[in-house]
Structure 1
Amino acid sequence: MLLIYKARHYEGNLHGGMTIGVAYADHYEGLYRVLSDEPVFPPELFHIEDPFIWQTNEGYNLIAKDMEGHLCGEKYGGIYAESPDGLKWSLHGQPQGYSRTVRWDDGTVQTLGNLERPFLLFQNGKPTHLFAAVSDGSDGFKDASDTWNMVVPLKQ
């Protein structure tokens, strides 16, 4: 069982020092052991949160919220990364895993204030839907007037 977790050193800075670590257990009930004292992603390069990981034939894939947009090109958009072993990760050749900009059924396009805590539904081994917590507004939850959970069907 591979576990990816978020850790943070507060030390007076509520928004700094966030890292992603990895631990392993032979069974989901534990005991888990940390596989490396180093963060999975270097915190000076990767400011991400809300990772969602799944296993593939080649190793593992991950989507996560890009807090500044330096990795995927969109603030609060999603990165897409790959790993052969869960320890060594690299951005996918097309690093944007999802966008906060959505097209509604009526054809209108809206950039949401947030799209976070991504979760994929898999059917027959393929992702079919993206689930996320979202908000309207333009600056995350700071100016949101409404929040909800959303399901986005993925192109097949």
Structure 2
Amino acid sequence: MRNIRFLVVIYLICQNTLFAQNNPFYNQWEPSPKEGAFQMEDYIVWGGSVIKGEDGLYYMFASRWPKHLGMSAWVTNSEIVLAVADKPEGPFSFKKVVLPARGKQYWDGMMTHNPNIHYHDGKYILFYIGLNYEFDQPEKVGATRELYEEAWNHKRIGVAVADSPFGPWKRMDAPILQPRPGKWDGAIISNPAPVIHEDGSVLLIYKSAPVPYPARNQNRTMNFGVATASHYWGPYERKGEDNQIKLLPISSDVEDPYIWYDGSKYHMLAKCMNEAITGESGAGFLASSEDGLVWKTSENPIAYSRNITFSNGEKVNLPKLERPQVLIQNGQPSHVYFACRNPEGQIFNMVRPLRRNQ
């Protein structure tokens, strides 16, 4: 009997170890620094994509906009900035604006947002969303809903390239894809999640919606599509059945994907906007794919919860935990950076370290 019990215990340990290897996020979170990874006193800081430089420093590309304008001003006033730290947990220190507003003559001339940074063949490659609009950039609180909706409808994905995290950054003259009116991605092209392969080719997951504002007020569906390119400059071509990814076994409203490639499979960390995949609205799930087109979740796809433990022992349920951006080190996820809002209404960038035995 003792031998049987011993074997059962060993079996369970092996199963848990195997599951942890397949899902490096489930129950693998270390406490998060209470002060967050990157904050600025007069700005709302949103998201944050981090890369380790050749100098050993950690470079974060994040979105910011004036705090006094409020949360919704991201769509009109956001700009992408650079912050630096000597360790992945931070704290990160602001260094410069890397993609500022550059004028209405450009497709991304009035706003840049949601950066995703990569390094390939001596170049830093920054994927982001940008947009343009005809009105003046708001400077006071209380921009009308119409301004928000007009700007939101113009979201597109661009690519910028530099030899250094500090720039100068060369931007594209046009977005990499345009919406297709009447299709599932008829409204916007947003939230880039690319993998740059060793040969420079790209597999890109993007987010879209079927209809722009004002129709979006009645139809808020979001889904993922996929496109590929032989080089990160493009051109990009949509792939897959109806150019959408298949998410099996459950398809639901999802957003904020981050993907990486381990040499044999693609992996995706993303947020589900309801309880369908994880059982918790706004929590994260893990999926994998052989080809980037058909994605499958495991029997337990839960990656993260909105219930957070901070380094001081405080446990908090965050109303918002969005834009997961993964830092891959030695081929494995080591940290995930989030945009979050706490119960007191404070908005900041936070980091969630993973256990180092992964």
TM-score w.r.t. the length of structure 2 is: 0.40
The equivalent of 1:4 in structure 2 is: 205
Q: How does 1:4-153 map onto structure 2 within 5 Å?
A: 4-10=205-211, 12-14=215-217, 15-36=219-240, 37-41=242-246, 45-137=251-343, 145-153=345-353
Aligned-residue Cα RMSD (Å) equals 1.7
Q: Which amino acid aligns with 2:349?
A: N
In 1, the alpha carbon distance for the partners of 2:333 and 2:267 equals 12
Q: Which amino acid aligns with 2:259?
A: I
In 2, the alpha carbon distance for the partners of 1:90 and 1:60 equals 10
Q: For structure 2, list consecutive stretches of 5 or more residues without a partner in the other structure.
A: 1-201
Q: Which 4+ stretches in 1 moved above 6 angstroms? A: none
In 1, the alpha carbon distance for the partners of 2:334 and 2:221 equals 34
In 2, the alpha carbon distance for the partners of 1:38 and 1:17 equals 16
Tell me the matched-pair count.
149
Larger radius of gyration: 2
In 1, the alpha carbon distance for the partners of 2:302 and 2:334 equals 17
1:41 to partner: Cα distance: 3.6
1:38 to partner: Cα distance: 4.2
Q: For structure 1, list consecutive stretches of 5 or more residues without a partner in the other structure.
A: 138-143
Q: Give the % identical residues.
A: 37
Name the SS of the counterpart of 2:216 in structure 1.
Answer: coil
If each structure's strand is expressed as a fraction of its own residues, which one has the higher value?
1
TM-score w.r.t. the length of structure 1 is: 0.88
Name the SS of the counterpart of 1:13 in structure 2.
Answer: helix
Deviations 1:128-156 (A, max 9, x none): 1110000013xxxxxx6211000111113
In 2, the alpha carbon distance for the partners of 1:6 and 1:110 equals 29
Deviations 1:91-127 (A, max 9, x none): 1332011111111112121111111100011111111
